[in-house]
Amino acid sequence: MAAAILRYLAGRRIYVESAGVRPGETDPFAIAAMEELGIDISAHRPTALDDLHDTSFDLIVALAPDAHRKALEIAGRFAVEVEYWPTPDPTGTSGNREQIMSAYRAVRDELFRRVKKRLSLPGAPTV
């Protein structure tokens, strides 16, 4: 969600790549939460940090402890800044659909706030 938010806000001004500790499938709840803001992430396929071909980043933002550790390993080999934004993992949320969507919306909205603040990007929709 964070990479899609940055692409949405910055357009082509910033190169953005999304990766995690391990590859996986796109989460249907994440897709639904982002669609509520008009952002389509349905074609996104999670990629592992180890599978990235280009590692010439200026900044890596890690959202989970495992990703943070891996990002620090990468930063040790390249000149890259690493930030850790502890983010709850909504995939473990239980309950009905609305309760689960509420957890995803909370993560989405916090990521929107953090991206805007960190990169001083205008134009974000009100969430």
**Long-range contacts made by residues 92-95, C-beta under 8 angstroms, separation at least 24?**
none
Q: Is the pLDDT of residue 82 over 80?
A: yes
Q: Is the pLDDT of residue 124 over 80?
A: no
- Other residues' Cβ atoms within 10 Å of the Cβ of residue 89: 10
Average pLDDT over residues 44-70: 85
Establish if 96 belongs to a structural domain. yes
Cα–Cα distance measured from residue 34 to residue 104, given in angstroms and rounded to the nearest whole number = 9
Establish if 45 belongs to a structural domain. yes
Digit-coded pLDDT (tens) for 34-53: 999 999 999 988 888 777 77
Task: Give me the number of domains the chain comprises.
Answer: 1
pLDDT of residue 122: 54
**Would you say 57 and 17 are in contact if contact means Cβ atoms under 8 Å apart?**
yes
Q: What is the CATH number of the domain that holds 73?
A: 3.40.50.2300
Structural domain including 81 reads: 2-116
